[in-house]
Chains A and B, each alone.
Chain A
């Protein structure tokens, strides 16, 4: 920090020097060259511009990367959906009655039931049991062979 001396009057120079302490009022008293004064502003401006450009470039890069990632994710999603549908189709094929029947007959030895040897269990046992007991006295109708006890000759064969 420096203090410039106040100008010495002619009157003072002839006798005792009229010295005073001058109180600094402002920086305006200090003179600088114009180029030196604008340097910080220019530097700051340059920094700001560079930062803005860098920011825009960064944003571009990030957006491009995001768009690329989004595209990849969408592709994977579509592929996964296709795979899902393909698997549903394969499951449906495996559950096809024709395939199951063919496998059961050829690999597992499945045969058709013999109708003559099939028993049918009548469901509403209580109701029928009551009726039968009242009618014929004790014949348990809960397990009827085809045609048995109907009196109408329900036939079991083809």
Chain B
């Protein structure tokens, strides 16, 4: 009777109390879950041409316990895989006794996989693994970033939009017999993988290519240590090209130093020098402290606190208009406008133009730049900052400032991502945010003065045949490491836009330590080549004379005709 009770009790425990756990164990024994990796979305240029795509490649692996003659197999495979027979033989013997899995080669090309499959070697297996491929080589590598061999994103767009690109893996749950064969009529569920969405960038592949080529040639010709160029549409903030030299191949990023993989256009800051004068002068015009025709007595140098500021070219004390100050890039004249503004107003405009904050491009590692608040200024800061010293900006911030002038005073958030494309091909895009920085009349006044820089001033090398151009040169001394003043190395730059009437392209070129070091002689001709090509590529018709463009801007200010029709 007691034994019966014990048995009944045990039966109760097994059947009722522990039933769910036993059921789980049984299910685990016969159930098999197969995961299907989701296809990573592609990265496309603005016309839908692939910049980064995922392709299934075969990975070759081996079960060493099934290999009878490792030496013979190694010699068979070495020719196909291009690896030494000794290395392969070591793998075929296993990295430890009893090893049942060793990689022979990961992500081999389809032709190689076919050859290995044809050998039909026992113990040698293959499985498909998606590999990220960049069909254009190093094109836009700093924008795209790269993924590692396991498909994990490491830098650039690949990291920033990984949640959109990666998709969701699928799962198939089935029941199998002890031999591992699926049981047809048993429980079966299949949740298909959801492929990642593709990204449609604002980058134009052709403009990007030409920009990279031209920048690389400029860096070589002027023996610069590095260079950056950005091309954007000022009206929409869309970045058409973003190039850096040196660059790298995202298919094999490990072969390049970390410095070559850095997107200098966003992550590196530099003292901009004279291109920054557009901020000071625009602020002076917006505050009605000066007009383009306002005159200043400009000596060849000026002392402010402990610093003496010189003009780049010696000249006697002379009277200059604001227009002259910009076209001749007078440091002394610009300092006088800065002094008229005062620290608070100058700082306010610097920040309104977007300096000291990320632009909102939504890119990993974007720098805010360095803008010192007025309360921390030294006595000479009011002399340094108006001419672009004592501040640090990114090339992207600077080109966005030029875009603001091109847009007649409206700042437009730059954007690299035009939208996402789902598996059905539907595109979803967002519009950038905008804000007014200076009145329209200031934008027009600045445009006329910047056009004069290119026709009569320091930027004549930026003239593009057939088009009107507005822009500003910059030649900035590089600060010595540790903050001990300035050395004899320079950053040359040129920023601007074209055509003057209704600008379609804004761009900046920054060359690090070129020879000659003047922005007007190195960055300006590079700008000319890049923007000239971009205008033609975008189908912008040649615009004729600068006189007519200026006339139209004058008419717009008089209210007789819209400047941008």
Contact (Cβ within 8 A) A150 B546 = yes
B189 nearest CB across to chain A (Å): 14
Q: Judge if A44 is at the interface, Cβ distance under 8 Å.
A: no
Contact in complex: A97, B465 (CB < 8 Å): no
Closest CB-CB distance, B459 to chain A, in whole Å? Answer: 12
Task: Give complex CA distance A150, B465 in Å.
Answer: 11
Kindly state whether residue B117 has any CB partner on chain A within 8 Å. no
Interface 1/0 per residue, B116-158 and A, CB below 8 Å: 0000000000001000010111010000000000000000000
The reply to whether A88 and B53 form a contact with Cβ atoms under 8 Å apart is yes
Does A131 sit within 8 A of B, measured CB to CB?
yes
Question: Interface digits, B27-57 against A, CB 8 Å rule (1 contact, 0 not)?
Answer: 0000000000000000000000110011110
Contacts A122-B542, A146-B465 given: A67-B182 contact, CB under 8 Å?
yes
Question: Which B523-557 residues have C-beta < 8 A from chain A?
Answer: 525, 528, 541-548
Interface string of A134-148 (1 = CB under 8 A from B): 000000010010110
Q: B465 contacts which chain A residues (CB < 8 A)?
A: 115, 118, 120, 146-147, 154-156
Q: Does A158 contact B (CB under 8 A)?
A: yes
Q: List 18 A-B contacts (CB under 8 A).
A: A78-B56, A81-B56, A85-B53, A85-B56, A92-B49, A95-B49, A96-B136, A96-B139, A98-B139, A121-B541, A121-B542, A123-B541, A144-B542, A146-B466, A150-B544, A151-B547, A152-B545, A155-B465
Q: Are B544 and A128 in contact (CB under 8 A)?
A: yes
Chain B residues, Cβ within 8 Å of A92? 49-50, 53, 135-136
B205 contacts partner chain A, Cβ-Cβ < 8 Å: yes
Are A154 and B463 in contact (CB-based, < 8 A)? yes
Whether B542 contacts A123 by the Cβ 8 Å rule is yes
Q: Give chain A's interface residue range (CB within 8 Å of chain B).
A: 35 or more
A59 to B53, CA, bound (A): 44
Given contacts A88-B53, A131-B548, A151-B547, contact A97 B206 (CB under 8 A): yes
A76 to B139, CA, bound (A): 34
Chain B, 202-237, CB within 8 A of any chain A CB: 205-206, 209-210
Please, which residues of chain B bring their CB within 8 A of the CB of A144? 466, 542, 544-545
Judge if B485 is at the interface, Cβ distance under 8 Å. Answer: no
Q: Chain B residues near A98: list those with CB within 8 A.
A: 136-137, 139, 209
Q: Report A60 CB to chain B, min CB distance, Å.
A: 7
Q: Which residues of B contact A (CB under 8 A)?
A: 49-50, 53-56, 110, 128, 133, 135-137, 139, 182, 184-185, 205-206, 209-210, 455-456, 460, 463, 465-466, 525, 528, 541-548
Task: Name the distance in Å between B339's Cβ and chain A's nearest Cβ.
Answer: 33
Q: Given the interface contacts A86-B55, A97-B209, does A150 sit within 8 Å of B547 by beta carbon?
A: yes
CA distance A124 to B548 in the complex (A): 12
Q: How far is the CB of B216 from chain A (nearest CB, A)?
A: 12
Q: Judge if A89 is at the interface, Cβ distance under 8 Å.
A: yes
A21 to B49, CA, bound (A): 105
Q: How far is the CA of A115 from the CA of B466 in the complex (A)?
A: 11
- Contact: A97 with B136, CB < 8 Å? yes
Closest-by-CB residue of B relative to A124 is B541
Chain B: minimal CB distance from A130 (Å): 11
Q: Chain B nearest CB: distance from A126 CB in Å?
A: 13
Q: Which residue of chain B has its CB nearest to the CB of A64?
A: B184
Question: Does A149 make an interface contact (CB < 8 A)?
Answer: yes
Contacts of B136 in A (CB 8 A): 92-93, 96-98
Cα A89 to Cα B544 in complex, Å, equals 42
8 Å CB contact of B547 from A82, A88, A152? A152
Q: Report A-chain residues with C-beta under 8 Å of the C-beta of B139.
A: 96-98
What is the CA–CA distance of A147 and B206 in the complex, to the nearest angstrom?
A: 28
A50 at the interface (CB under 8 A from B): no
Residues of A within 8 A of B210 (CB): 97
Residues of chain A in range 16-61 having any CB-CB distance to chain B below 8 Å: 59-60
The answer to whether A85 touches B184, judged by C-beta atoms less than 8 angstroms apart, is no
- Contact status of A67 and B184, CB under 8 A, knowing A122-B544, A152-B455: yes
A85-B54 contact in complex given A97-B139, A120-B466, A154-B463, C-beta closer than 8 Å: yes
Q: How far is the CA of A151 from the CA of B136 in the complex (A)?
A: 44
List B contacts of A146 (CB < 8 A).
465-466
